[in-house]
Structure 1
Amino acid sequence: MKLSYRWLQQYIDLDLSPSELAEALIGLGLEVEEVEPLGTDLKGVVIGRVLEVRPHPNADRLTLCRVDLGSGEPVPIVCGAPNVAAGQKVAVATPGTTLLLTDREGNRQPVTIRKTKIRGEVSEGMICAEDELGLSDDHSGILVLPGDAPVGHPFVEYLQQQGLTVPDYRLEVSLTPNRADAASHIGMARDLSALLDRPLRRPEVAVPEPGGEAARQVQVTIDAPEACPRYVALLVRNVRIGPSPLWLRQRLAAIGLRSINNVVDVTNYVLHECGQPLHAFDFDQLIGGRIHVRLARAGEQFTTLDGKTRQLPEGALLICDAERPVALAGIMGGENSEVTDTTTNILIESAYFDPSTIRRTSKALGLQTDSSYRFERGVDAGLQRWAAARAAQLIVEVAGGEIVPGVVDVQVRSFEPRTVTLRLPRLAHVLGTEIPSGEVRRILDRLGFAPKPEGEAFRCTVPLYRPDVHEEIDLIEEVARVHGYDRLPMPEAFTVPARVPDEPPAQALRRRVRTLLAGFGLREIYTNSLLPREVVRRFVPASGSDHQTDAPHLVETLNPISAEMAVLRPSLLPGLVQTIVYNQNRGQQVLRFFEFGRVFARTDRPDTPVPGFAEHEALVIGLSGPHAPEGWDVQPRLTDFFDLKGLIETLLDTLHLSDRMALVPAESPEPTVAYQMNLVADGRVLGTLARLSDALQEAYELRAPLYYAELNWDAFAEIAHPAQQRRYRPFSRFPEVDRDLAVLVDRDQPVGPLLETIREAGGELLRHVGVFDLYEGERIPSGKKSVAFSLRFGADRTLTDEEVDARLEAIVRELERRFGAQLRR
């Protein structure tokens, strides 16, 4: 939001400099990003009269002017403005005057005017445009003053007589979404009133009562009461559309707005004055003199003021006349009812629109305006009639006309203010200090909460412009920010626990795995938990054509910030792929990443914290590109599936989980992968190891295959935790026995299940088993392969050959029974 320093002074007495004002607002919790000067003190600028204008002999676009400055001989001035003419009253910067002028790069820099020659002709000053004086951004021509402007009079004094003060300063303030009340000059002044303990000055406005002649000329019906609980309409007749007066143009220019005409400028002025968006209709263009508020139908289109025809989302809120839409409620008016130079009768709209309805439509259309910015956050539900009356009063002042008596005020839902109690002992406990009750009462009263003492508490009525205040802690925050966080004393002593608290087991395991993965050469990444819908669809199998049934377990945001943040991620894989692509496109080759993060899905389980939704922490590991950087002694090969599998097996070994978890081939791989293995424990799938499908690899233009593992970390940690309790086991004082075993199995038989069977059949005597040879070829039957295992047996005694042979025979029998394996001799 943009704030004008001089404009703000209309509502509160300020003796703060612009930089001090910025510090004060920051202390109130309002982040000030920039303070920009909009002009200089204009010392040296006087009012002159152009006596003569003739062409410059050496430049086609320049003219030579003789200007009377009210003292002495007229001075020559070279001017490049297209609208300069003899007889005009103008503002002239005399030599020695410093102005803020825009350079070729668009930056405003201080420039001192000097007597000089321009294309061979002497120029003793500069006839100024509005932007050069800091009055607006208009540089289309020089500022032409009214005929009664006194020649030779200092221009600053003339402005003061018009109610203007220079120089002005623009403050760029970043508001948090809950502070809709601060999105106006009066709202900002209210906070400063509490901080500085000075009265807030609101303009005096005669607010008409509902009914009267206006209610007989305008009919308002609301068919969408949830989206539009209140609609106010007020009529002004016989206005004259034209340019706005200088004071109004300057106020709007100070906050970066372009002047349009006197009526539209007033609606913008009132919006930024009090925070209530308004819209002015050409009343004669409203068919039937009727306002009808309804929701848009599927496929409906509407042409907005910017000339664009927009496809409206179903459920968008429309303002219609008797036959057609005339405005997109809370966002932008329509081309068919805008105020033009021929307009004479005005209908002022001042309404309360539901924030979620406006936000949903604004995001769907990608169209945000000053009005939607405020409606999305929630405007004051009791301000509509005041704002309409204020606008009507100003329109009559700047455009003439008469206000039609009465007003139409249709309310389909009343807004009752909440009451919240603030206990002084609770305030002192939370803030760590006692604030005098008189100061607490003053702060709450200045902020509009109307505190009433009740013992050691205040009963507060929450004004309608503070929809963010619900509970006692909200009032405590209000008192704290105005009192000043920097004034809260530091405690004299801190309570320090006598011992370091134990680290939660899951957190300790996560920290250990992070360290291990970093040691394996992987880099940790953090990706966005919100993704575009089309990205998620690539990774989630579709089950229908409608976006609601494409993936019924997806969690979609109701009012996404943008289309890029429409769905909560169901997997960490999309973020990993995007990170791989980003690094690949910037010349990185060895790509090894991991990420811990939460994933989200819909569920039918009744035991979740939020019914219908579930989330858990996940771990994703991704490998792509060469397995190692190229070097004089290394000829890198492309990473393959066995690199990923080996990394996971090493991780399991290090965590003492090899005997509790197993990798088994997936019976029905997901359509997003080329092939897949599952990590299984106690019959439960904890995660997958896979290679990304060729279709996705091509879609993302990956130059090398991506191998990834994604684990349900919550489930993994639950099983892994007991294995992390380290117990001492002494080395055996007895020799261990090594044996080799080779069997013939079908060529497509995975080795993992063979290893699991050997471990089971080997019993307690089998200490270790591993694969040391895999052979196909000569002397091996067609369709078969030979797999050789190394086995190590041991016990807390000396084993006999008979015991070891018995275990080997049991292993061979079990392999033969389950897999048809044949012992190779």
Structure 2
Amino acid sequence: MKLSYRWLQQYIALELSPSELAEALIGLGLEVEAVEPLGTDLNGVVIGRVLEVHPHPNADRLRICQVDLGHNQSVSIVCGAPNVAAGQKVAVATPGTTLLLSDREGNRQPITIRKTKIRGAVSEGMICAEDELGLSDDHSGILVLPDDAPVGHPFVEYLQQQRLIVPDYQLEISLTPNRADAASHLGVARDLSALLDRPLHRPEVALPEPGGEASRQVQVTIDAPEACPRYVALLVRNVRVGPSPLWLRQRLAAIGLRSINNVVDVTNYVLHECGQPLHAFDFDQLRGARIHVRRARAGETFTTLDGKTRQLPEGALLICDAERPVALAGIMGGENSEVTDHTTNVLIESAYFDPSTIRRTSKALGLQTDSSYRFERGVDAGLQRWAAARAAQLIVEVAGGEIVPGVVDVQMQRFEPRPVVLRLTRLKQLLGTEIPPDRAVRILDRLGFQPKREGTALRCTVPLYRPDVTEEIDLIEEVARVHGYDRLPLPDTFIVPARVPVEPPTQTLRRRMRALLASLGLREIYTNSLLSREVAYRFTAASETNAQAHASHLVETLNPISAEMAVLRPSLLPGLVQTAVHNQNRGQEVLRFFEFGRVFMRTDRTDTLVPGFAEHEALIIGLSGPHAPEGWDVRPRLTDFFDLKGLLETLLATLHLSDRIALIPAESPAPTAAYQVNLVADGQVLGTLARLSDALQEAYELRAPLYYAELNWDAFVALAYPVQQRRYQSFSRFPEVARDLAVLVDRDQPVGPLLETIRKAGGDLLRYVGIFDVYEGERIPSGKKSVAFSLRFGANRTLTDEEVDARVATILQQLQQQFGAQLRR
């Protein structure tokens, strides 16, 4: 949300600079993301009159203007604006004036105007457009002033006569969802009133009484009272639609809005002034002079103001006339009833719409507007008549016309303020300091809670614009944030627990693995746990058909913030791939990443924390590109599957799980994998090692294969933690016995199961087994390969050759029985 510094000053006396105001708002809980100047003080800008306009002899698009600056001073100015003409009153920046001007990249920079030559012609100043003066973003032509603008007078004084003070500043504020009351200038000014203990100046508006002539000219009916509890309609006749005055255009431009016409600009102005969305209908386009509020039917379509015909979700709220829809309630008006230059009679809509109804429709259509932003969070249910009257008053001021007496105010539900009691003793107990009761009373009163003293308590009436305040603790928070959290003193003593906190096993092992993986040259990444549906489908199945079949396992959010955050990630792989692509596209070649994070899926189990849904912590490791950076002593090769396998074996050895987990090739790889090896313990798959599928590699334009291992970290911790206790074992004083064993096995036989069999058959005498050679070729039968193992045997005594030979024979026998292995001679 954007605010204007000068606009705020209309409602409260501010002596704070824009930067000091930003600090004050942050202290109030309203996060200020940026403060941007919208112009300079305009010293040196005067009002001039264009006397003559001649073509520039050396440039087709430029013209030489003779401009009268008053006081018998006439200057020559080169101007490129298409609308400059003799007889115009204009704003002229004389030499020495500093303006904020946009460079070629669109960044605004302070530039000092100087007397100069442009294509050989002398230019003694600049005739300014609105954006160059900081009044709007309009650069289509120079600003043409009314005929009564006094020539030679400072432009700043003229602006002051038009209710404008320069320079202005734009503040961009990020609101939490509960602070809908602060989504307007008056709402923010109310908070500042409490902070500074100064009165709030709310515009005076004559409220029309319900009924009267308006109720005889307009009929309003509501078929969906739960979605539209209140609807106010007010009629203004004989308006003259046209450009808005300078002050109104400047106010809207200061918050980033484009001027449309005086009537529509007024509705936008009132929205950002008080937070109540309004809509202006061309009354003559409403058939039957009737407003009918109803739900959308299945399959119904509607063309909105932006010219798009939208398929409406069933149950969306529509504003209709006697025959057809004319607006999508709370979101956008219709093309068939918009205010145009030919409009003479205007119907002002000011309503209260149910937040959840507007939110569902807005999300379903992917359409969010300034109005829906506020309706979704909840507007003041008592403000509708005041806002409509305020808009009518301003329309008459800027567009003429007459307000039809009376107002239509249909209330299907009465909203009443809630009483909440605040105990002063509780206030002191929770804040740890005593705030003077008079100070607490003033704060709550300025915020609109109307506190009344009842002994040691305050009975407050919660205004309708604060639906988030429901309990005593909410009032305490209001007092604390205005009083200032930074002013709450630290306690003299702290309670420190006597016991040493015990680190959970998951956290202990995670910390060790982070250190290990970082020491091996991997970088930890953090990726978003929310994905778009498209990405989630892509990573759950190989084809769109299968993706839809797998979609039932995805956990989708009910009200996603955006289409990019619609599904909770079922795997860490999408984030890894996107990170790899991001780094690759920025010149990084050696990609070595890991991430710990939670993954989510639907399940048939009912014993989970939330029945039907499961989640666990996962660890993913990814390698791609060269195995190391290029150097004088390094000839990089592309990372391969064995780099990942070796890294994982180091991890397993650190966890003392090498003899507990087997690597078994998957019979059918996952759709995301070109090939895959599973990590299996006691028949349970704990993770996978794989190469990213060719289809995904091509889709994400990865230049090198991506190898990844994704592990169920929770399952790993459950398996690993019991064996993490350190036990001392002295080194044997006796020598070990080394033997080599080479066997012939089928060419496609994985070596992992052979190692597992050797470890089991070697028993407690086998201290080490490793592979030192794999060979195919001469003197090896076709379809076979030779695998050579290095064995070391040992004990706390001297081993005999007979003992070692017996163990080697047992190992060979098991290899023959299980894998058909033959001793290589």
The reply to whether TM is greater than 0.5 is yes
Change (3 A) 1:123 1:747: closer
**8 A Cα contact 1:99 1:110, kept in partner:** yes
Could you say which residue in structure 1 is the equivalent of 2:586? 586
- Structure 1 segment 481-496 matched on structure 2, within 5 A: 481-494=481-494
Match of 1:271 in 2: 271
* Deviations, residues 44-100 of structure 1 (Å, cap 9, x unaligned): 7666777x546478688546557484x6x5746658566667776x46659678463
Once residues 118 and 641 of structure 1 are traced to their aligned partners in structure 2, the CA distance between those partners, rounded to angstroms, is: 66
**1:117 shift after superposition:** 8.8
Call closer, same or farther: CA 1:118–1:778 in 2, change over 3 Å. Answer: closer
Residue correspondence of structure 1 range 360-759 to structure 2 within 5 A: 361-362=361-362, 367-453=367-453, 456-494=456-494, 501-541=501-541, 550-759=550-759
* C-alpha distance in 1 between matches for 2:354 and 2:433: 40
8 A Cα contact 1:67 1:77, kept in partner: no
Matched-pair contact (CA < 8 Å) for 1:236–1:403: yes
Partner of 1:145: 146
- In 2: Cα distance, 1:737 partner to 1:225 partner: 89
Shift of 1:654: 2.3
- Whole-angstrom distance in 2 between the partners of 1:184 and 1:563: 27
Residue-by-residue CA offset, 1:556-606 (whole Å, 9 max, x unaligned) = 223333332222211111111222223333343332221111212123333
**Worse-superposed segment, 13-22 or 521-530:** 13-22
Change (3 A) 1:514 1:282: same
Alpha-carbon distance between aligned partners in 2 of 1:780 and 1:15, rounded to the nearest angstrom: 92
How far the C-alpha of 1:247 sits from its partner, in A, is 3.3
Query: Does the Cα contact within 8 Å between 1:279 and 1:333 map onto a contact in 2?
Result: yes
What does residue 334 of structure 1 align with?
334
264-273 or 754-763: which moved more? 754-763
Amino acid at match of 2:20: E
Distance 1:628 1:394 in 2: 69
Q: Gaps spanning 5+ residues in structure 1: where?
A: none
Q: CA deviation at 1:430?
A: 4.0
Distance 1:421 1:814, change over 3 A: farther
Is the CA contact (8 Å cut-off) linking 1:101 and 1:111 kept in structure 2? yes
Q: CA deviation at 1:122?
A: 8.8
Secondary structure of 1:203's aligned partner: coil
The 1:684–1:37 alpha-carbon spacing in structure 2 relative to 1, beyond 3 Å, is closer
Report SS of the residue matched to 1:552.
helix
Residue 280 of structure 2: aligned partner = 280
Q: Does 1:325 align with 2:322?
A: no
Distance across 1 between alignment mates of 2:124 and 2:582: 59
The question of whether the paired residues in 1 share the 8 Å contact of 2:222 and 2:293 is answered with yes
CA distance in 2, matches of 1:91, 1:637: 69
Cα contact 2:53–2:86 (8 A) shared by 1: no
* Contact preservation (8 Å) 1:38, 1:170: yes
Give the deviation of 1:268 after TM superposition.
Answer: 1.1
- Listed as ranges, the matches of 1:797-812 within 5 Å are 797-800=797-800, 803-812=803-812
Structure 1 residues 109 and 541: alpha-carbon distance in aligned structure 2, compared to 1, 3 A threshold: closer
How far does residue 278 in structure 1 lie from its aligned partner after superposition? 0.9
CA contact (8 A) 1:227 1:354 kept: yes
What code does the residue aligned with 1:145 have? Answer: P
Partner SS for 2:606: coil
Quick check: 226-235 or 613-622, which moved more? 226-235
* CA RMSD, 1 decimal: 3.7
Spell out the pairing of 1:352-367 with structure 2 (5 A cutoff): 352-359=352-359, 361-362=361-362, 367=367
Contact 1:317 1:328 in 2 (8 A): yes
- For 1:266, the aligned partner's letter is V
Counterparts of 1:769 and 1:233 in 2: how far apart (Å)?
87
Structure-2 change in CA distance of 1:810 and 1:211 (3 Å): farther
Q: 3-state DSSP class of the match of 1:551?
A: helix
- 2:595 is paired with a residue whose SS is strand
Matched, 1:102 2:84: no
* TM-score, length-scaled by structure 2: 0.88
Q: Distance in 2 between matches of 1:295 and 1:20?
A: 47
Residues 115 and 525 from structure 1, CA distance in 2 versus in 1: closer, same or farther, beyond 3 angstroms? closer
Amino acid at match of 2:732: S
User: Partners of 1:110 and 1:779 in 2: how far apart?
Assistant: 83
Relative to structure 1, the CA distance from residue 95 to residue 506 in structure 2 (aligned partners, 3 Å threshold; closer, same or farther) is: closer
Mark the CA change 1:737 to 1:584 in structure 2 (over 3 Å): closer, same or farther: same
Q: What amino acid does structure 1 have at the position aligned with 2:475? A: L
Distance 1:257 1:738 in 2: 82
Show the counterpart of 1:249: 249
- Which deviates further from its counterpart, 22-31 or 75-84? 75-84
DSSP 3-state at the match of 2:553: coil
CA gap of 1:570–1:440, structure 2 versus 1, over 3 A, is: same
Paired residues for 1:190-205 under 5 Å: 190-205=190-205
Aligned equivalents of 2:142, 2:348: Cα separation in 1: 32
Report the more deviating stretch, 276-285 or 588-597: 588-597
Contact 1:92 1:125 in 2 (8 A): no
How far 1:525 moved relative to its partner?
Answer: 1.9
Cα deviations by residue, 1:257-313 (Å, 9 ceiling, x for unpaired): 333222111101101110111110111112233334445566654433233445556
Q: Which moved more, 1:448-457 or 1:680-689?
A: 448-457
C-alpha change, 1:45 and 1:298, in structure 2 (3 Å) is same
Counterpart code for 1:276: Q
> Structure 2: which amino acid aligns with 1:691?
R
Aligned pairs, number: 820
CA distance 1:112–1:659, change in 2 (3 Å): closer
2:2 is matched with 2
Which structure 2 residue ranges, 5 or more long, are not aligned? none
Aligned partners of 1:408 and 1:598: how far apart in 2? 54
Post-superposition offset of 1:536: 1.9
What is the identity, as a one-letter code, of the residue corresponding to 1:190?
A: R
Give how far 1:376 is off.
3.5
Match runs of 1:122-137 below 5 Å: 130=130, 134-137=134-137
